[in-house]
Chain A
Amino acid sequence: MMIEALIAVALIGALVTFVAPNRIAGKLAFGISLIPAALSLWMFAVFDGSGNALLDGDLAFESQMEWIQLGEYSISWLVGLDGISLPLVVLTTVLTSLAIMSSWTPIDERESQFYGLVLFIEANLIGVFAALDFFVWFIFWEAVLIPMYLLIGIWGGPRRKYAAIKFFVYTNVASLVMFGAFIALIFGLDVGSFALPEIADAMLDGGPDGFAGISGSALASIAFVALFLGFAVKVPVVPFHTWLPDAHVEAPTPASVLLAGVLLKMGTYALLRFNFTMFPEEVAAFAIPIAAIAAISVIYGAMLALAQTDLKRIVAYSSVSSMGYVILGLVAYTQFGVGGATFQMVSHGLISGLMFMAVGVIYNATHTRIVSDMSGMADKMPVAVGILIAGAFGYMGLPLMSGFAAEYFIFFGAFGSEVLEYAPVFTAIAMFGIVIVAGYLLFAMQRTLFGPYRLETDYEVSRAPLHDIAPMFVLLGLIIALGVAPELIFEMITDAVDPILELGGDA
């Protein structure tokens, strides 16, 4: 019942916070969010699952309850964690607590509603990573949209209405495509249940029969492509990435932190669970186009970042390239590739969260994010600037930081891929992204942080308060911890990844 407890605490906390008075809402929400954070860390410590959740693995904290019997189909409440989902659940709970603390300064209107929505998102995100019944999973998946739409739309920047609608329409249409394809697949499979492990079994045990005049193998291919498109928007990969910079730039800092830190991982997590676990044959068939999309996302995202003048946009576009690495790791279909991709999900969550927080702190003080307006911030805000630089180093993949480990695993895994033809070529192209990333980050840092101070503003630019800095230190600590000792989570990840690779890759 641990997972139910996590979700329930966040949901009830959301309700309580929503009706609490504005002046205590921030502290109250932070206090409440510490409960799931502490619980999930405890779950991490006592984790005893093994294998992959969809492939007859032993789940930790599993619980199952019959829910609805609909004709021949049964829907059940089925949740549990394996080595892939547990790190993401911990990432969610920890990042939520930190994001709440980092909102105390920038959020100064309708606080109770803001924090209520943040806790509501947390509950749904935990649900997405823990649910193992398609229906339960889809409900959580879609329910994330509503609070994020409101967070961007109400507390966002000047173009918030446009960004909120664009985010909502893009991701909702993608979900419909994915949903329709998956339902058609289940009709073709004849499983009688929406439980993902059973669906995965049926998929690997011969795949779907035909449905509505479409042959079984065609149905599987169509479902694979539709699922890929549905998740690709969420990730996002080029060319479905255009909602992301708008949403990021307009979103308030804490929403950006959750958006980049956790929401994008929903896409790659779902890709791993659905496309890369249930369709090994289609992965092999579509490996080259997917790898091409991954490489393009890396390079194009980095080039777009290079062209930006807004610090937050730079960080936002760099997410496109980082998530491109994840796709590359997945399609490599090796232990280091898929494991590294999962590791990168966690690592990017921490690093991008850190970067958005740091940019947010500087913005709070200067009220600008335009690179050319700023200069010499290092003198005014030494601690925040130090953290921003550390985050940038993490992004570039400096050794002893989690970004290095993640990218190393992915490239190592991708080079040796047997599923992907021309793997070294794709890997080499993607690796060139690192150079561009280092280029634009160093360039941006150099211009904003160093040199003489010349910002003309009515505000007094001064050091950030402790509650703005503290969450960033926690994140930095985690980034370094994972960089020094990747096996903290990498072992449990590979334990859950290996069964996937036995299907069609090479473990």
Chain B
Amino acid sequence: MVAFELPQWTALAPALLLALTALVLFVFDSINPRSTNRPVVAGIATVGSLASLAVAVWFIVVGVGDPDRGGVIDVFGGQFVVDQMALFFMVVVSVVTALVAVASYDYMRDHAYQAEYYSLIVLAATGMATMSAANSLVTIFIALELASLPSYALVAILKNNRGSVEAGLKYFLIGALSSAIMVYGISLIYGATGHLQLEAIADNLDAAEEFGGILGLGILMLIGGFAFKTASVPFHFWAPEAYEGAPAPVSAFLSSASKAAGFVIAFRVFTEAFPLAETTAVIGVDWTLAFIILAVVTMTVGNFAAATQENVKRMLAYSSVGHAGYALIGLAGLGAGSELVLGAAMMHLLVYGFMNTGAFLFVALAEYWGVGRTFEDYNGLSVQAPIACVALAIFMFSLAGIPPFGGFWSKYFLFVGALEAGLFIVAAALVVNSALSLYYYSRLVKAVWIEEPVLERESLAQPTGLYAAIVVAAVMTVVLLPGFGPVVDVAIDAAATMLG
């Protein structure tokens, strides 16, 4: 196979391609400063992320990192690994990046800093792709910061918009705080075990016997860091503010890709570095308990908060908190040693990458039209823009988990996974929350399709980039249903490797 004749580091190609794309954008910007040549910059970002996507998919198909066909590839002395899970999440990240890059073409039309915007997006994506492959607490922390720093700037990029600047500041402050907590947790873990590389930590858990309390505290702080990145309770407060204030494509990017990247680290750290039985013996507490509580609380808080919103973007922001709760089931269910539940969480994050990005891009479209922010403002949009509203209905019903859309599959798999792991309360919470979520999701569908417009609107423009991104996301949300077979295989295999 070609991949193995190349140097090992080329296995990181999906992430490296994104980094290269960011550099190309910098070069373009330095040759041609202050360029507003949107087709070129958006084009570079899109082509770069699609190339990354293509390579990642190709790697998965030829079996890079597949234990049956050559095995996991260690890069840079085990600081990074390329396995099926890393590639799976690189796919999620690059898909969302491509969608956002295409959609931003119209949304950022009048913005002064075109090249800067796209390079920040691609840099953040590089950080997220690196997060997927990071295999040591140090590389994890660096990758996390590489993803976070551009994100702070992106949220605040509308410099003349108070909401955007305020959101950026809040996001930055909470982000800095959670980074501090996390890095302190890492230092405690290092202190207890003497290692940072994940397998090495696992191998040296016995040595940490006398520092059980310190290790436990370190793990708890690490969980805090993940909770921030994935917008899980209790570190979710930044999410509605940041998502609401940020430009909508950036909200889409953060709530889909950044969240997925946060989860991949959590999956890797807790399966590789802290095997359940050994860790429980040392710290005296089963860490899945923390995730069981987090999952139930996060999905409930997110859904109830979403149900009470009047502002569409805030509703989506809180609903994305709820979805973090669903994905946390993947970690909560690890106690049963079933690869199904972890695979189901990965599948949910992939489907979520399409449906949630699409939903936020529809908000971007509405902002582009200037129709307003509340449910009432969206009333009757389907008369002027039926295609986009069909896509919106698909996203909403899929997010609610109604067949025949992709979201039904992934939620169903999570449900079965939770049952198999014996987590009946979590499974019940999933069903109840899904039923509740139908209320506020269908409210948006009702607004655009059934309600009469409050005021007459001029006919609405059809920006090509935004439309293309939304339609692609909608088609993928539908096509994922019949095409789910391969996705299931990849996700379950990847999960099996992690637990192997």
Contact = CB atoms under 8 A, between A and B. Distances in A.
Contacts of A173: 435
Interface string A50-73: 000000000000000011111101
A158 B489 CA distance: 49
A187 B420 CA distance: 9
B383 interface: yes
Contacts of A288: none
B492 interface: yes
Contacts of B431: 176, 180
A-B pairs, top 4 by smallest CB distance, nearest first, are A153-B450, A139-B403, A142-B403, A143-B404
Interface stretch (B189-197, B362-370, B480-488): B480-488
B413 interface: yes
Contacts of A138: 403
A364 interface: no
B200 interface: no
A120 to B, nearest CB: 10
B57 interface: no
A110 B435 contact: no
Contact of B340 (A70, A149, A172, A212): A70
A139 B450 contact: no
A212 B386 CA distance: 47
Given A113-B386, A143-B403, A154 B416 contact: no
A272 B415 CA distance: 27
A139 B397 CA distance: 13
A161 B489 CA distance: 42
B435 A150 contact: no
15 contacts: A67-B482, A67-B484, A68-B485, A70-B340, A70-B413, A70-B492, A139-B403, A142-B402, A142-B404, A154-B450, A161-B446, A164-B450, A173-B435, A176-B431, A212-B424
Interface residues of A, number: 35
A187 B419 contact: yes
Interface string A79-121: 0000000000000000000000000000000100100000000
A336 interface: no
B419 A150 contact: no
Contacts of B402: 142, 145-146, 172
Interface string B441-477: 0100010011100000000000000000000000000
A73 B412 CA distance: 13
Contact of A160 (B383, B450, B482): B450
Contacts of A149: 442
Given A139-B408, A164-B450, A70 B416 contact: yes
Which residue among B416, B450, B451 has the maximum number of chain A CB atoms within 10 Å of its CB?
A: B450
Interface in A112-146: 113, 138-143, 145-146
A168 interface: yes
A356 interface: no
A330 B492 CA distance: 43
Interface of B: 338, 340, 382-383, 386-387, 390, 393, 397, 402-404, 408, 413, 415-416, 419-420, 424, 431, 435, 438, 442, 446, 449-451, 481-482, 484-485, 488-489, 492
A153 B446 contact: yes
B340 to A, nearest CB: 5
Contacts of B435: 172-173, 176
Contacts of A71: 338, 340, 416, 420, 492
A371 to B, nearest CB: 29
A224 interface: no
A180 B386 CA distance: 35
Contacts of B489: 69
Contacts of A143: 403-404
B305 to A, nearest CB: 21
A139 B404 contact: yes
A343 to B, nearest CB: 30
B439 to A, nearest CB: 8
A145 B397 CA distance: 11
A198 to B, nearest CB: 18
A411 interface: no
A153 B393 CA distance: 14
Interface in A6-39: 18-19
A3 to B, nearest CB: 15
Given A176-B435, A187-B419, A18 B413 contact: no
Interface in A174-206: 176, 180, 183, 187
B424 A168 contact: no
A78 to B, nearest CB: 14
A153 B488 contact: no
Given A68-B484, A69-B488, A172-B402, 13 more contacts: A19-B387, A67-B484, A68-B485, A69-B489, A110-B383, A113-B382, A142-B403, A145-B402, A153-B446, A164-B446, A172-B435, A172-B438, A212-B424
Contacts of A140: 403-404
B408 to A, nearest CB: 7
B338 to A, nearest CB: 8
Given A68-B485, A113-B386, A153 B449 contact: yes
Contacts of B438: 172
Contacts of A141: 403
A176 B397 CA distance: 15
B419 A68 contact: no
Nearest to B427: A180
Nearest to A127: B404
A140 B403 CA distance: 8
A375 B49 CA distance: 70
B396 to A, nearest CB: 10
Contact of B488 (A68, A145, A212): A68
Contacts of B340: 70-71
A141 B420 CA distance: 25
Nearest to A164: B450
Contacts of B424: 212
Nearest to B443: A165
Given A113-B386, A142-B403, A161 B450 contact: yes
Contacts of B408: 139, 142
